[in-house]
Amino acid sequence: MGLHFGPRERAFLVARRAWDDKLASVMNLGLIFGGRSAEHEVSLVSARCLSAVLDRTKYNVVPIGITREGTWVMPRDLDEALAKGLVEVASDPVVLAPDPVHPGLRVVDGQLLPLDVVFPVLHGPYGEDGTVQGLLELAGVPYAGAGVAASAVAMDKELMKAVFKAAGLPQVDYLVLRDRGAAPQSCVAEVEDALDYPMFVKPANMGSSVGITKAHDRDELVEALEVAFRYDRKVIVEASCVGRELECAVLGNVTPEVSLPGEVVPANEYYDYEAKYTEGKMRFAIPAPLSEAQREEVRRLAAAAFTAIDCAGFARVDFFIEEPGGRVLVNEINTLPGLTEMSAFPKLWEASGIPYAELADRIIALALERHAARAALLTQR
């Protein structure tokens, strides 16, 4: 008796064969970079580093820049755009075609440039927060990284912390403030009743430590709130953890694979924007000097955080280790982590046996795999 496949199984087999065919041929890979967030420059550096390791025998890289104003353009010279910035180079306007049957870009002459997969290298709002992911879903284009919901939850620190709490993941104490930008000093008593100094003040939706301040007293708290409310209507105030900062990289879809943990050793008082992106302002210790039990606990919690938000593709999970005591606390998860030469994500995987070029290949393969699985789901009765 032959095997019988239902509609869902047949759809998956067709999608899987299409995925295998793509892997065996040169793919049009859309590289999206720039964006409307305060992390625009970081995105360009990440895209430049990623572009340098992409195998051009496997990928025809299609540059897709997003200006600070949100305009989508195709630079005529990718390397020049990534080195000088989008406003300094010649480019043509493009539009993502809202046609899942023929996924691609509408270029200046109206023709369709097909896209097999997209790698968004966008950090912060309007890119890492589910907005671009939703657009790519509507257009039917496979894309690297987390889906709409996971991206949105991870970007919004309030929602992320709520999901982590529901999953039983240990965290520092925190407070959420909303719509108080007009009078940030009105928050002081509420914050001081809940937390002790020093404390960290953060915009709820921002990455790369943009807008984050460590407040040691009331005057610094008022100033920190003013800074954070410039970036977001929601602000998170967190208890300071005395201890060490760790990072762990995750790769996978259904079954996450976790790297060796690394320890962040910043030259500044804490791991701020300057420390992250200025040569000599920080160093990584990979693997982190941990006991075997601590190492496995960090890796377990990294996988648990990845699963808790229903992440996919790749992510970086950040931790604290309290001292004394050694308790491991989850800080946050980043669904589109930095991919620069200084960034932890590629460094952690390289130390774990996966060089950057292979890492890029695996992330792209995971994007196609996830798209094939989603394409197999029924969309009508």
Look up the CATH number of the domain holding residue 232.
3.30.1490.20
Based on the fold, state whether residues 74 and 124 are members of the same structural domain: yes
Based on the fold, state whether residues 232 and 248 are members of the same structural domain: no
Based on the fold, state whether residues 207 and 302 are members of the same structural domain: no
- Whether 313 shows a pLDDT value over 80: the answer reads yes
pLDDT of residue 274: 53
Based on the fold, state whether residues 290 and 159 are members of the same structural domain: yes
Lowest mean pLDDT, pick from 28-32, 45-49, 134-138, 206-210: 206-210
Could you write out the DSSP letters of every residue in 40-90?
A: HHHHHHHHHHHHHHS-TTTEEEEEEEE-TT--EEEES-HHHHHHH-GGGS-
Lowest mean pLDDT, pick from 15-24, 127-136, 162-171: 15-24
pLDDT of residue 18: 52
Q: How confident is the model at residue 1 (pLDDT cuts 50, 70, 90)?
A: very low
What are the residues whose beta carbons fall under 8 Å from the beta carbon of 13, sequence distance 6 or more?
Answer: 5
Q: What average pLDDT does the structure give for the chain?
A: 90
Residue percentage of the chain with pLDDT more than 70: 89
The 8-class DSSP code of residue 125 comes to T
Q: How confident is the model at residue 316 (pLDDT cuts 50, 70, 90)?
A: very high
What are the residues whose beta carbons fall under 8 Å from the beta carbon of 328, sequence distance 6 or more?
Answer: 170, 246, 294, 297, 298, 301, 319, 320, 321
pLDDT of residue 379: 84
- Whether 211 shows a pLDDT value over 50: the answer reads yes
Based on the fold, state whether residues 65 and 193 are members of the same structural domain: no
Domain ends where: 239, 257, 290? 239
What is the pLDDT averaged over residues 133-148? 97
How far is 278 from 208, CA to CA, in rounded Å? 12
Based on the fold, state whether residues 41 and 118 are members of the same structural domain: yes
Based on the fold, state whether residues 182 and 196 are members of the same structural domain: yes
Q: How confident is the model at residue 12 (pLDDT cuts 50, 70, 90)?
A: very low
Q: Which domain holds residue 140?
A: 7-145
How many domains are there within the chain? 3
